[in-house]
Amino acid sequence: MKIKLPGPVNLWLAPALIALLGGCSTISSLSVRHSPLYYGQAHVITVKATASDPAGIDKIAFKIFSGTMTACTEYGGPPSGVPCRENVVQQFALPCSFPAHPTHATCETTVSGSDQSLITYSAQAWNTKGSVLNTDEIETSGGAPLTQTTYGGQTIAWTLAVPIFVHTKSLSGADQINLGFYPNQDYAQRPWLINGAFRDDVNDIIEHAFFNDADNFAQTYSGTIAVFNLWAGPDGAQVTPHIAGAIPNDPANSCDTPLFMFPSIGSGLLSASAVITANAVLHIADCRDNSGVKSYHQFKTTVEGHSSGVVGDSGWVLTHESGHLIYGLADEYGCDGGYPKVSTPHNVFSSEADCKAELTNQNIIAVSPTAKCAKITDDSNTMIPQANRPVCAMKTSGFGQFRVDDGTLETMKDRIATSSWRNLSRIAVGKTIANCVSGNCFPP
């Protein structure tokens, strides 16, 4: 199917639409990103644009601006949880020209990410017919974050959330899902942002969950990055294993619901988490990750960092837990999952009749002809890979629940990179993302 889009338009959303519509890749597209995504100390940032156009690419150029990070007190109010920027200057980058007019082209440039700086960038591409494609403007942080600010005539200690990959068209707008990553106290106290372990874990998770076309579980978010703003939050969050000194991966040893403590020295944690909808606390301590559920819990989840050496698939964990956190999805595995009926549509049902009704209502068979309602059973010894998970002996809340099963690995059930959101869970995630595209991710 060839999709015609009116031009010139902002085609940043094209991958999202392709992902939602299941279309093909013969249309024009332009995307831009930077690397490393998040660093926390002065470094060189590489910005790369990738353009495709069947008419041939003629030129790619960047617009890059840098400025100084502030806590917004220059506007007279109290210090903020997310930064403002002042002293903005344009950074110049030589455009890339493509005399051979390839249908696929990339262009790279570098910018200095000095301490307490905020960088914004966007890309433009021209095809051989003179049509122009533009990306959204993306904001990221340069070097070390703000550690103090001036308020009420005094200099006070202050940290705040910094942008990792944020669309400036709506820094905290209703049309974006703002997701923040916060260091648990076990990543060490300040200077938290130059703690390499936290930095590496945040980059690992984001690269695997949001910039990863290869793994099935990541394709939804990688195709809809246009509706996500990613932040690194300040310190002060606390995750505690429910059982101190428990054996590694003991399923009974849940991470207790994260506390957002107010640190003894100034932190914008509470202000930041008021702006950032979905809050993921990264921890090193061994405890079983879990999540609050959209609409009746705080928007908080826990993710065990890769650097702990225990969990090597933190990107999948973040994606699975975000299924609970952002969309209200239930677990689809048996034994001891959580089975709330919150998402729209629900993905788990208390009766087979309710499941069949939704199966028909959503016309699932049209997309997945083999889909049928199936009882959730104790599959704890066959879940992939659950080597450390004993055969279900804890409770039986999963029994008597029903899910749609089409024989394909499901991210709310199967802990493996080849899983994806299927059927009802896919519809629920797609509805929220479509709401974002329409201007309000979470309508009342």
Q: Please identify which residue in 331, 332, 336, 414 interacts with Zn ion, judged by CB under 5 A.
A: 331
CB of 38 to Zn ion, least distance (A): 26
Identity of the residue, 251 or 430, whose beta carbon is nearer to Zn ion in the bound complex:
251
Identity of the residue, 331 or 379, whose beta carbon is nearer to Zn ion in the bound complex:
331
CB of 324 to Zn ion, least distance (A): 6
Identity of the residue, 308 or 425, whose beta carbon is nearer to Zn ion in the bound complex:
425
CB of 323 to Zn ion, least distance (A): 7
Identity of the residue, 331 or 410, whose beta carbon is nearer to Zn ion in the bound complex:
331
Among the listed ranges 49-57, 221-229, 329-337, 400-408, the one in contact with Zn ion (CB under 5 A) is 329-337
The count of other CB atoms within 10 Å of the CB of residue 94 is 9
CB of 397 to Zn ion, least distance (A): 13
Q: How far is the C-alpha of 332 from the C-alpha of 352, rounded, in Å?
A: 14
Contact 136, 10 (CB under 8 A): yes
Answer yes or no whether residue 289 interacts with Zn ion by CB under 5 A: no
Among the listed ranges 300-308, 327-335, 363-371, 429-437, the one in contact with Zn ion (CB under 5 A) is 327-335
CB of 63 to Zn ion, least distance (A): 41
CB of 320 to Zn ion, least distance (A): 6
Among the listed ranges 73-81, 186-194, 325-333, 373-381, the one in contact with Zn ion (CB under 5 A) is 325-333
Identity of the residue, 361 or 382, whose beta carbon is nearer to Zn ion in the bound complex:
382
CB of 212 to Zn ion, least distance (A): 20
Site string for Zn ion, 55-74 (x = CB under 5 A): --------------------
Identity of the residue, 80 or 319, whose beta carbon is nearer to Zn ion in the bound complex:
319
Among the listed ranges 25-33, 201-209, 331-339, 389-397, the one in contact with Zn ion (CB under 5 A) is 331-339
Identity of the residue, 17 or 412, whose beta carbon is nearer to Zn ion in the bound complex:
412
Among the listed ranges 208-216, 323-331, 344-352, 395-403, the one in contact with Zn ion (CB under 5 A) is 323-331
Residue with nearest beta carbon to Zn ion: 331
* Neighbouring residues of 419: CB distance < 8 A, sequence distance ≥ 6: 216, 217, 316, 409, 410, 411, 413
CB of 337 to Zn ion, least distance (A): 6
Q: How far is the C-alpha of 20 from the C-alpha of 436, rounded, in Å?
A: 13
Chain residues binding Zn ion by CB under 5 A are 331
